[in-house]
Chain A
Amino acid sequence: MGTTRLPRLFLLSCAVAFLVTLTASLPVGADARQVAKIKARLTPEHLGAATTVSLGFQLPPRDGVSPAALRSMKLAYPPNLGLATSGLGLASCSPGELEALGVEGCPANSRMGSGSATVELVLKVETVTEHISLALFAAPSSDGYLHVLVYAYGVFPVYAQLLLSGVLMHGQMGITVPPIPSFPEAPDVVMTQMQLTLGGPLTYYARSAGKLVAYHPPGVGLPRRCPTGGFPFRATFVFLDGGHASARTAVPCPGGA
């Protein structure tokens, strides 16, 4: 009896482990129509020190068809990452000023990061691709949570500025994506790639002895311990057509720690 139970338990454990491994290796959104890929990077990656967090995602075409327009996304990060204590966003930028004046309309101390994105305009004859720049700002908060604004601006082929609003909540940044109109009678613009960096080469100003002194904010604080399997990141996407997709990744611990 004892000799047969052990092999059965062993086989059962192997089967469960195989399923878990298979599930972990697949994109989370494999059951949905859309597939998503994400990348995360911490530069430099020294435990207990400040770092720059880069998050990127890609929504590749499926069977040659571009993805539907995004409605919202959630970018999850390790909750003990020092985003709130980063010293980034020592001022806030109002959405009105950002829309009216662009990046120059915001205080330097409200800048939290930058990035880039790729958008596609699917026409009958061709698909037009445009690369746009992103700027991340701290936004006013009335609910106790940290709010951010992602300002996207491009000039060709569609000259447009777009404002995305986001909020940091429960270890994730939720971003709402408004419809991106293109030409009359043409479909909305679709975002297919995005790369966002928190921190980086930012210049802030502080008053010292009556003078404004420039300095560089240190960035996002890393915990002193790296979790098993590395620092986990996950992204979830909701599309205007009701579809969804998600993906996850992990930044390995430094030195294999």
Chain B
Amino acid sequence: MTLKLITRTIMCRTLRWKEDVIQGSLPGSSNGIGRKMSQTASGSASIVAVALVGSTLLLAAAAGADTRRPVRSAPSAHAAGVLNVHDEGHLRFIHASGSVIIDEGSVSGTLPGSVRVRFLYDGEPQVSAQFTINGRGGSISAHATGRLSSLTSPSPSFSGHMTITGGSGRYAHVRGSGTLFGVYYRRSYGLTVQAIGKLPY
């Protein structure tokens, strides 16, 4: 019964997201970071950001659904196939341990929440990030790996694949994947992350 309810919720929510994306009203869908990501996508590799965005989207999909929405929305959602969504977070440096940086911040978008990221950059082209987003209904954890570009710039960017690894509360059974984009600020050790998720429905 719970599974059916969540499924129906996601379907309804994705329908609403699709409408929002078409109208250009979703946060981050046409902002400066999005443009920078697209410009630097070939060279940059900020993994953390991608993970945050993707997880936020998934979180929103799972948690923010309107359960009062009529069930008749589901058939048209099935017909649409895949929904593209964006979300964004700005993180500040908390502490570091060698090549590992811990950042925290807020995630804005469909489901507001706080996020804590463990960002690893040891000099290899691949960077990785583990993060947990805490929202009102529970938490979602994810892992992402990606490739960093423009290494010697003050704010190299990254992009990579993100996988949801678990959750709690309302999101205990959330699974999915997406793409994480981000910018790593080498002087302040802060991160800006953007998730672009494709949610099958």
Contact = CB atoms under 8 A, between A and B. Distances in A.
Given A145-B123, A169-B123, A81 B152 contact: no
A107 to B, nearest CB: 10
B39 to A, nearest CB: 18
Interface string A158-184: 000000000011110000000000000
A224 B97 contact: yes
Contacts of A217: 187
Contacts of B126: 144
Nearest to B45: A144
- Prevailing SS type, chain B contact patch: loop
A138 interface: yes
Given A84-B122, A85-B101, A146-B123, A110 B96 contact: no
A223 interface: yes
Nearest to A83: B123
B120 to A, nearest CB: 9
Question: Which range holds the interface residue count of chain B?
Answer: 20 to 34
B99 A221 contact: yes
Nearest to B187: A87
B61 to A, nearest CB: 33
Interface residues of A, number: 35
A170 B147 CA distance: 16
B173 interface: no
Interface in A83-103: 83-85, 87, 89-92
A254 interface: no
A43 interface: no
A143 interface: yes
Contacts of B96: 48, 82, 85, 221
Interface string B163-179: 00000000000000000
B148 interface: yes
Contact of A170 (B45, B124, B153): B124
Interface of B: 45, 95-101, 121-126, 147-149, 151-154, 186-187, 189
Interface of A: 48, 78-85, 87, 89-92, 109-110, 138-141, 143-146, 168-171, 206, 217, 221-225
Chain A to chain B: the 8 pairs with minimum beta-carbon distance, closest first: A144-B125, A223-B98, A92-B152, A84-B123, A224-B97, A80-B98, A82-B98, A168-B123
